[in-house]
Amino acid sequence: MAARPSGARSPKLELADIVRAHGAAFSAAHRLCAVQHRALRAIERCRTAALGGELRQCDACGTQRYVYHSCRNRHCPKCQTLAKERWLAARRAELLPVPYFHLVFTLPHELNALAQGNPRALYAMLFAAASETLVEFGRNSRWLGGEIAATLVLHTWGQTLSQHLHVHALVGAGALSAEGAWIRARRGFLFPVKALSVVFRAKFLDALRLAFKRGTLTLAGSTAALREPAAQRPLLTELRKNAWVVYAKQPFAGPEAVLQYLGRYTHRTAISNERLLALETDSVRFRYKDYAHGGRRRVMALAALEFLRRFALHVLPRGFMRIRHYGLLANRNKQALLARARTALKAPAPAPEASAPESPAAFWQRISAIDIRQCPACRLGTLRLVATLAPPARHPP
């Protein structure tokens, strides 16, 4: 192997490097479901010859460059930027010219083990309990008395990749009445968080109790005892005793601030490559924010297999929608209801978006002023496609 030139920077550590180094040992040591296997394999192969790609050549100096395909897996930190921007472009036309509130609904950690065995069911209960609570408070004339516009985003992780089940909710400061009038929220206030917490807890526990009664949950390992009603009742009683965390932030100033904020949350993966510091013999070091101590930046070291175990916890069930819309933004009658809301707010209709999605080249040109078609060697020519590279044939074991 050639020595690295003096002063050359080491390649930036990526999640894919950790999977390549320790993924096989991790898979051998842990029982993974199919979607976890697919996610890890996709991350490992992303932007490598394993997925095929293109050979491009500069039309001025002749420099050749290999460009490999992305895996497009939603858990891959390298594949979310373009998807996020396209999603935000679609949402831009749906924002109303009102302040927006950010709320967070969190499940108690006592439910973590149950969620590990039943992620689809528990995540669906979380969405339902949080969204129904918000919609009901919006319809209550004591608070607003109409249909709200809400977007909810599921996050399952904390800063150290530990399990932390919660949904972020972005809610417009007001509601559309049945008569077509816009009811404005009080300045700096949407709904009382203590009351939200009580209703959210009741709705979730009612759904959990019903799931226990119907026997629709998978109960094994540490949750096997919950097959018996005698064990279910103490758990439900204990969960009902404590206050559940519902958090509300001050409203955003306007739609553009909302878009920037949405971009931070909607397509985030459990850990970004930017937070990774080092892959040592059998451990991974990464940065995290310690919110228990004022959000201080700290460094954590985990054994590589434990790091991958924590990451795999946050791989979502296949086809599960982690971004959902409610009220005025629900798919049914969305366009008609948003048009009525804009009329009530005396707001102009949004400019029509281009029908075709933005290309990767146009995206990078707009976002970073980088023309990815320009030759990186001479900076004069354009990289032209000269060959399509098929993925290598996979032979059965």
pLDDT over 60 (residue 356): no
Q: Where are the domains of the chain?
A: 15-75+361-389, 80-270+313-345
Q: Residue 384: beta bridge partners?
A: 57
Q: How many CA atoms lie within 13 A of 118 on its CB side?
A: 21
pLDDT attached to residue 6: 39
Cα dist from 146 to 131, 140, 182, 238, whole Å: 15, 7, 8, 35
pLDDT attached to residue 62: 96
Interacting residues of 138 by C-beta distance below 8 A, sequence separation 6+: 144, 146, 147, 148, 171, 175, 327
Class of the CATH-defined domain 80-270+313-345: alpha beta
pLDDT class of 332 with cuts at 50, 70, 90: confident
Mean pLDDT of 171-190: 95
Q: How many Å apart are CA 313 and CA 109, to the nearest integer?
A: 14
Q: What is the pTM of this model?
A: 0.89
pLDDT attached to residue 3: 37
Greater pLDDT, 81 or 220: 220
pLDDT attached to residue 114: 97
Backbone phi and psi for residue 54, each to the nearest 5 degrees, phi listed first: -140, 150
pLDDT class of 358 with cuts at 50, 70, 90: low
52-66, 92-106, 209-223: segment of lowest average pLDDT = 92-106
pLDDT class of 68 with cuts at 50, 70, 90: very high
Computed from CA positions of residues 295, 297, 300, 306, in that sequence, does the dihedral angle turn out positive or negative? positive
User: Under a CB-based contact definition with an 8 Å cutoff, are residues 171 and 162 in contact?
Assistant: no
Mean pLDDT of 207-222: 96
pLDDT attached to residue 362: 63
pLDDT class of 316 with cuts at 50, 70, 90: very high
User: Under a CB-based contact definition with an 8 Å cutoff, are residues 312 and 27 in contact?
Assistant: no
What is the residue type of 57? Q
Q: Report strand pairing: 246-248 vs 100-106.
A: antiparallel
Q: How many Å apart are CA 89 and CA 149, to the nearest integer?
A: 18
Counting residues of the chain whose pLDDT is more than 70, the rounded percentage is: 91
Helices (H), the chain: 15-29, 34-45, 81-92, 112-117, 119-139, 193-214, 229-241, 255-265, 304-312, 334-345, 360-368
- Tens of pLDDT, residues 126-163: 999 999 999 999 999 999 999 999 999 999 999 999 99
Q: How many C-beta neighbours within 10 Å does residue 263 have? A: 16
pLDDT over 80 (residue 231): yes
Left if phi > 0, otherwise alpha if psi is -120 to 50, otherwise beta: which for 65?
beta
Greater pLDDT, 333 or 288: 288
- Tens of pLDDT, residues 271-280: 999 999 999 9
Q: How many Å apart are CA 171 and CA 92, to the nearest integer?
A: 15
- Tens of pLDDT, residues 18-36: 999 999 999 999 999 999 9
User: Under a CB-based contact definition with an 8 Å cutoff, are residues 89 and 358 in contact?
Assistant: yes
pLDDT over 60 (residue 321): yes
Counting residues of the chain whose pLDDT is more than 90, the rounded percentage is: 76
Q: How many Å apart are CA 361 and CA 162, to the nearest integer?
A: 36
